Amino acid sequence: MAALGTPQRPLAVAIVGAGPSGFYAAEALLKAPGLTVRVDLFDRLPTPFGLVRGGVAPDHQKIKSVVAVYEKTAADPRLRFFGAVKLGCDLTAEELAARHDAVIYAVGCESDRHMGIPGEDLAGSHSATEFVGWYNGHPDHRGRTFDLSCGAVAVIGVGNVAMDVTRILSRDAEDLSKTDIAGYALDALRASKVKTVWLLGRRGPAEAAYSPAEIEEIGELSTADLVVDPAKAVVDEVSQGELADPAVKKKVEYVQEHAKKGEGSKERKVRLRFRISPVEIIGENGRVTALRIEKNELVSDGKGGVKAVGAGVFETIPVGLVLRSVGYRGIPIPGVPFDEKSGHIPNVDGRVVAASGKPALPGQYVVGWAKRGPSGLIGTNRADSVATVSSLLADLKAGTLPAATDASLDATLRLLADKKVRALSFADWRKLDVLEKAAGAKTGKIREKFTRVSDMLAALIPQ
């Protein structure tokens, strides 16, 4: 048999997940010098781009412009897109592996972490993931409802996702009216009665997970004052060492300067508090009415870091909505290893292992959040995917890649046809893209997204 990766026997790679990490892995493979390769890129949704479409906030269009890079990758004739094909449902991991010499999982982290406190399942208590998916028109979340008739919302956690949801809740809805925000979300935000967003960090200003630019954007909102108690913006003795990091110093100084401004006079308030942990979500008749919080003290964690411990002082804040923004989490896929504790696919240098300490499973790789957990910006995924592809190419060179049983171009097409799975091509996505832009143009928006898979499929049936 001809060697894998040569013109006589091109390397056949499947990538599962068409978000940033999947596209960067495809790009790295297609650009690998001296390699003859073809890539099949799968996504469970008919639409590509993962979190860039369904996660990045609608008021961050500049970040979304990265899709131009992915479009270029998708235009490569060696890449085929299979939209609306779900691994573990429409085809199995085994079936995919039998038709490709290597499989790269780029499935991200679709779910979210819980806080493990009483009341988390009350109506009005949601994950930020759900809220983000809702305003972005993600088909999984388009049917959710968020009670924006309440005066106050608590956002738990102070990462960049918390900043996104706080901005969307606090800014003038008209600022969003030209973006690609889902139409129903824009209507709901226009009618919103929310006046206060509590932004609650369990540690101090030096440990806040937000980026300097993100907290500054909150501070610059035209419709909301960022309110911080100066006494609470101080950096504890135990956290002083962290100020050596210029990014930490920058965000601490920003918050401390802002604290001097007091309450301000804008219609809405974002009340940022540190050293606070929620201990119970309180409800009446099954609905959230308040959040019980405990003040924290910061102590060394004994590993060079700082941790929060409850100080036994409690307070109750009336809120009608709680959004926990405490991190994303992967969900297991049948036939693919999953580490319950970390919430992602166990791996060594991107090579999937059955469990920690076990040898690599030949031909299986992982990239992005599914590989390292939910951290980093979109661009972080490029180097991460390049690193995994380097592992794959080293295995190819070492001869340890298991050749597919049937790597022919039509093997996957036949399998999907046999299973009566209708996969959408990138050309189909381009048609949806044109339709969305045209629908948006009617009301001056960048695009009006399809938010139901059934609507996308119906739109593609020739009239």
Within 77-96, which residues bind ligand NAP (CB under 6 A)?
none
375 near ligand NAP (CB under 6 A): yes
By beta-carbon distance, which residue lies closest to ligand NAP?
A: 159
Within 220-279, which residues bind ligand NAP (CB under 6 A)?
277
Which range of residues in 42-50, 97-105, 200-208, 247-255 is near ligand NAP by CB under 6 A? 200-208
**Cα–Cα distance measured from residue 364 to residue 366, given in angstroms and rounded to the nearest whole number:** 7
347 near ligand NAP (CB under 6 A): no
What's at 111, amino acid-wise? S
155 near ligand NAP (CB under 6 A): no
**Cα–Cα distance measured from residue 144 to residue 131, given in angstroms and rounded to the nearest whole number:** 8
109 near ligand NAP (CB under 6 A): no
Candidate list 168, 374, 388, 428; residue touching ligand NAP; CB under 6 A? 374
Site string for ligand NAP, 24-63 (x = CB under 6 A): ------------------------------------x---
**Cα–Cα distance measured from residue 24 to residue 33, given in angstroms and rounded to the nearest whole number:** 16
Q: How far is the CB of 130 from ligand NAP (least distance, A)?
A: 13
Q: How far is CA 300 from CA 201, 204, 445, 454, in A?
A: 17, 13, 49, 52
111 near ligand NAP (CB under 6 A): no
Candidate list 74, 162, 228, 360; residue touching ligand NAP; CB under 6 A? 162
Report which of 190, 194, 170 is spatially closest to residue 182, judged by C-alpha positions.
190
The pairs formed by 395-400 with CB atoms below 8 angstroms and a separation of 24 or more are: 395/102, 395/351, 395/362, 395/363, 396/4, 396/5, 396/11, 396/35, 396/102, 400/362
Q: How far is the CB of 203 from ligand NAP (least distance, A)?
A: 4
Site string for ligand NAP, 297-326 (x = CB under 6 A): ----------------------------xx
445 near ligand NAP (CB under 6 A): no
Strand stretches in 305-391, DSSP E: 306-318, 321-324, 328-329, 347-348, 351-353, 360-366
Q: 209 is written with which tokens?
A: 């997970």
Candidate list 202, 269, 275, 372; residue touching ligand NAP; CB under 6 A? 202
Which range of residues in 17-25, 346-354, 375-383, 414-422 is near ligand NAP by CB under 6 A? 375-383
Q: How far is CA 96 from CA 140, 339, 406, 452, 456, in A?
A: 24, 21, 10, 27, 25
Q: 274 is written with which tokens?
A: 């540190």
What is the C-alpha radius of gyration for the chain, rounded to an integer number of angstroms? Answer: 24
Element (H, E) at 125: strand 125-127
Task: Tell me whether residue 168 or residue 456 sits nearer to ligand NAP (CB atom).
Answer: 168
What's at 157, amino acid-wise? G
Q: Which letter, b or e, does each residue of 242-268 get, where b requires 16 or more Cβ atoms within 10 Å of its Cβ?
A: beeeeebebbbebbeebbeeeeeeeeb
**Cα–Cα distance measured from residue 437 to residue 415, given in angstroms and rounded to the nearest whole number:** 34
209 near ligand NAP (CB under 6 A): yes
294 near ligand NAP (CB under 6 A): no
Candidate list 36, 111, 160, 177; residue touching ligand NAP; CB under 6 A? 160
Q: How far is the CB of 191 from ligand NAP (least distance, A)?
A: 26
Candidate list 27, 40, 110, 214; residue touching ligand NAP; CB under 6 A? 214
Task: Tell me whether residue 125 or residue 364 sits nearer to ligand NAP (CB atom).
Answer: 125
159 near ligand NAP (CB under 6 A): yes
Candidate list 16, 158, 189, 290; residue touching ligand NAP; CB under 6 A? 158
207 near ligand NAP (CB under 6 A): yes
Residue 304 is given by DSSP the state S
376 near ligand NAP (CB under 6 A): yes
**Cα–Cα distance measured from residue 33 to residue 16, given in angstroms and rounded to the nearest whole number:** 23
Which residues is 153 bridged to in the sheet?
197, 321
293 near ligand NAP (CB under 6 A): no
Candidate list 328, 365, 429, 450; residue touching ligand NAP; CB under 6 A? 328
346 near ligand NAP (CB under 6 A): no
Q: What number of chain residues touch ligand NAP (CB under 6 A)?
A: 25
Which range of residues in 77-85, 230-238, 348-356, 369-377 is near ligand NAP by CB under 6 A? 369-377
Which range of residues in 5-13, 158-166, 235-243, 427-435 is near ligand NAP by CB under 6 A? 158-166
Element (H, E) at 386: helix 380-398
Q: Are 335 and 342 a contacting pair, CB within 8 Å?
A: no
205 near ligand NAP (CB under 6 A): no
**Cα–Cα distance measured from residue 411 to residue 233, given in angstroms and rounded to the nearest whole number:** 60
327 near ligand NAP (CB under 6 A): yes
Residues of this chain that bind ligand NAP (CB under 6 A): 60, 115, 156-162, 164, 201-203, 207, 209, 214, 277, 325-328, 374-377
